[in-house]
Amino acid sequence: MSSSARTVAAALAGTWPRRAAWLILAAAVLVTTLTGGLAAAPVPEPERVEAGAAVDIGPVRLAARSWTIRDDIATNGLEYAEADAWLVVEADVTALTDATLTFPQRSLGLPPDLRVEGEPDRVLLLADATLSPGLQPGLPARVALLWPLGDLPDPGDDLDVSYLRSRLSDSTIDAGRVWRPDGVAAHTTLPRDDATGDALVEEES
């Protein structure tokens, strides 16, 4: 065999095994994909927790405790919102951030049949009625979340709510990081307690 023939034979011997290996690998990936082997793992269903159980929703740990309807707190806000009463939810909240945080408006989801805005109209600190209180990292606080209600049928004794999770994400606008919606963290059913919001009742003038 001439030297040129031996060179061609050696090149083929070195090339075809590598090509065959790549073909086998590509075929394996194709088969895995077609059979669902590379499919994304299913997103787990949100857990159901007891009323008062703390749930990590990203910026805060939140524990909704009870709810009621009343018209004797934040009455000036009722007039401004053109509402008959507030749907009030009391909750314990702890900031999980490194700096002081305003209560995240997007935290609890209400049943759609109530036909109220997704975010509460206002958040009040029960200790002193501070509006939109600053939450100190790691320091628990109790707040009341107020949604304005119009002329709707009474929801009954139990209220189903959802804990709404957020996650930190890069912002292209200010080159910082912002909290963005990240689905539902958990569901719970709150009992009706007409003492909810008592600490905020306004004195009659």
Checking if the pLDDT of 37 tops 70, the result is: no
Least Cα distance to 188 among 110, 120, 80 occurs for: 110
What was the pLDDT predicted at 162? 97
* Interval 68-79 mean pLDDT: 93
Q: Over the stretch 142-171, which tens digit does the pLDDT of each residue have?
A: 999 999 998 767 778 999 999 999 998 877
Residue 57 pLDDT level (bands cut at 50, 70, 90): very high
Residue 198 pLDDT level (bands cut at 50, 70, 90): very high
Beta strands in 47-117 (DSSP E): 47-48, 55-56, 60-70, 85-95, 101-102, 108-109
Checking if the pLDDT of 31 tops 70, the result is: no
H helices of 42-193, in order, are 75-81
Record the pTM: 0.76
Task: Identify residue 114 by its one-letter amino acid code.
Answer: L
The rounded Cα 153 to chain-centroid distance in angstroms is 28
Residue 13 pLDDT level (bands cut at 50, 70, 90): very low
* Interval 72-77 mean pLDDT: 93
Least Cα distance to 191 among 90, 55, 56 occurs for: 90
What was the pLDDT predicted at 176? 73
How are strands ordered across the β-sheet holding 108-109?
47-48, 177-191, 158-170, 108-109
